[in-house]
Amino acid sequence: MSDGDRRERDPSSIRSPFDLFDVTGRVAVVTGGLGQLGRQYCRTLAGAGARVAALDLAADQAAVARAFPDLVGSPACPFGVTADVTDRDSLEDALARIQAEAGIPDILINNAALDSPPNAALEENGPFETYPQESWRRVFSVNAEGVFLCCQVFGGAMAEAGRGSIVNVASIYGLVSPDQSLYQYRRHRGEEFYKPVAYSASKSALYNLTRYLATYWGRAGVRVNTVTLAGVFNGQDPEFLAAYEPRVPLGRMADERDYNGVMLFLASDASRYVTGSNLVADGGWTAW
């Protein structure tokens, strides 16, 4: 299929509402594509017809087989591309590989991110006043600079081709401040724990990067949007769940599949007139 065939469809050619979500023949890049949510986005886009590149730090054949065991050997199986989102040369190499394998990307989901895990070293999850500068730099290098570089490399190729959709994945903790009371149970048991600052600040940076690129590339046919996500269930401490879930109007953490429809909407022609926007999919967290 030629690049021209992968452009937005003429609305008059759409015969069914489901056609709006059809991305057959398009090439999608998902950073952090082998992670918990990245795997979901890869499956969703592949299921809607896209040729999907799962970009990750270690995306060899064995890693892809572990991530998508039921798709191995199927045309719908994503192909792995090993790359470091903080290294422009690595991303340029990845683009060349993707172009050789499938063509110029049409869809980019900037999903790769770094956060301090709950079991990180004490200085990582301690008070703001002593938060390590190196931790700040490390988180920003992935969450903000990594998105910037991916947009330069993959988005630049999309703009040159005259079409595309970029989705930058943000967080409720980039839109509003972390609710430190959620972690009070840890302080009650003697730990000095606070949700760190770098994740919030780095995710917040994506909103204006998105708006900047939406206006910069609008006439080039590239749409750029942000999606704001809430926490995803992944075996968290029951005490944390007991504090978190009453804070959500829907009463639960997100299931890893809950964001698939949002991603497909923003990637497809269903959102063909949506750019520079922030779609909040947080179970109502920010509605209080």
pLDDT-derived band at 246 (thresholds 50, 70, 90) equals very high
Residue 113: its H or E element = none
CA–CA dist 246, 65 (Å, integer)? 38
How do residues 105-141 score in pLDDT, each as one tens digit? 999 999 999 998 767 778 889 999 999 999 999 999 9
The pTM is what?
0.93
CB neighbours of 53 closer than 8 A, spacing ≥ 6? 27, 28, 29, 30, 33, 78, 79, 80, 81, 94, 98, 101, 102, 105
Q: What is the pLDDT of residues 46-78, one digit of tens each?
A: 999 999 999 999 999 999 999 999 999 999 999
pLDDT at 4 over 50: no
Question: Is the pLDDT confidence value at 91 over 90?
Answer: yes
pLDDT, tens only, 145-200: 999 999 999 999 999 999 999 999 999 999 999 999 999 999 999 888 999 999 99
- Phi, psi (rounded to 5 degrees) for 181: -65, -20
Domain extents in the chain: 15-276
- Spot the catalytic one: 41, 183, 199, 244: 199
DSSP classification of residue 280: E
Nearest residue to 29 via CA among 222, 239, 267, 238: 267
Does domain 15-276 sit in CATH 3.40.50.720?
A: yes
Known catalytic residue: 199?
A: yes
